[in-house]
Amino acid sequence: MTNSSALVLFSGGQDSTISLIWACKNFKKVETIGFHYNQRHVVEMKCRTNVISRIKKDMGLDKIIGKDHVLDLSVLGSLSESALTKNSDIKTSNNGLPNTFVPARNLVFLTMSASLAYKRNISNIVGGMCETDYSGYPDCRQSTIKAQQEAISLGLDRDIIIHTPLMHMSKSKSWHFANQIGGQLLTEIIIEETHTCYLGERNKLYEWGYGCSECPACELRKKGFSEWKKNYGNI
C-alpha cells in the first residue's frame, strides 16, 4: 500500500466494484466518483450507494473509503443517440459498434475525474475499463487510456496516473480476481448489490446477479461467471 490517494470511477457495476477494492489495497485513502448522464439504467446510481455502504461496513474499509462525489453530466446523454440513453432496441450500428456506445463517455468521465482529482490533490485515477471482454468500445482500449493520461497530465501540468487493473482480464478472470482480492464476501456483494444490465432490470436474481439475462452486458457477465465456475471451481 502506498501513502498516496486515489479517485475511483465508480458506477456501481461489477468492474468498478472490483477496481474499488483493488484501489483500497493499493492506496491509503480512496474517494469515488459517479456520473448522472441520463443513462437508461439509472438504477445503477442507487446500487452504487448500496455497494459502497456494504463494502465499508462488511469489509471494514470505512477508514479507507472517503468522500463520494456525483456529477451531473446529463448533457452527455442529450448529445448521444445511444441505446444506453434512449429507449431503443440494442443492436449493432452501421459502423460495426453496438448502439450502446456513448461517444466519448470515458473520455469525458476521465476529464471530469481529473478536474476533481486536481482540486482534491489526488494524482491517481482508477477505472474499470477492459479491452479483453468488451463490446468494441474504442474508449475502453488501453491505447485510448494512455493517450488520455498524457493529455490530462499535460493539460493540468501535473502527473496524473490512470490505473486500469482489469484492462487485460476476461470477464471470467475478473470474477476470479475479485474472489482473490475480496474473498467470498466480495463475490456476494457483486452478485447481490452491483448492477450491469443495460435495461435496468432488477426483478430477478440469478446466480451471477440481477439483470434481464439477455442484453449484451448480462450475457457477458453470465458467460464470465459460468466460465469462472468451470475453470476455477464453484464459489
Mean of the per-residue pLDDT values of the chain: 88
Which residue type is seen at 143?
S
**Which CATH number do you get for residue 99?**
3.40.50.620
Residue 176: is it exposed, middle or buried by C-beta count within 10 angstroms (0-12/13-18/19+)?
buried
Q: How many domains does the chain have?
A: 1
Q: What is the pLDDT of residue 37?
A: 78
pLDDT per residue as tens digits for the range 25-37: 999 999 999 998 7
Q: What is the pLDDT of residue 215?
A: 87
Cell 470477464, residue located = 171
89 alpha carbon, distance to own chain's centre? 23
Q: What is the pLDDT of residue 69?
A: 97
pLDDT per residue as tens digits for the range 130-143: 988 666 788 888 99
Question: What proportion of the chain, given as a percentage, has pLDDT over 90?
Answer: 68
The domain of 131 spans 5-232
Q: What is the pLDDT of residue 121?
A: 97
Q: How many angstroms separate the CA atoms of 217 and 41, rounded?
A: 11
Helices of type H across the chain:
14-26, 43-58, 74-79, 105-119, 142-156, 171-193, 216-232
What's the number of CA atoms in the CB half-sphere (13 Å) around residue 94? Answer: 0
Global confidence as pTM: 0.91
Q: Where residue 99 falls among pLDDT bands split at 50, 70, 90? A: low
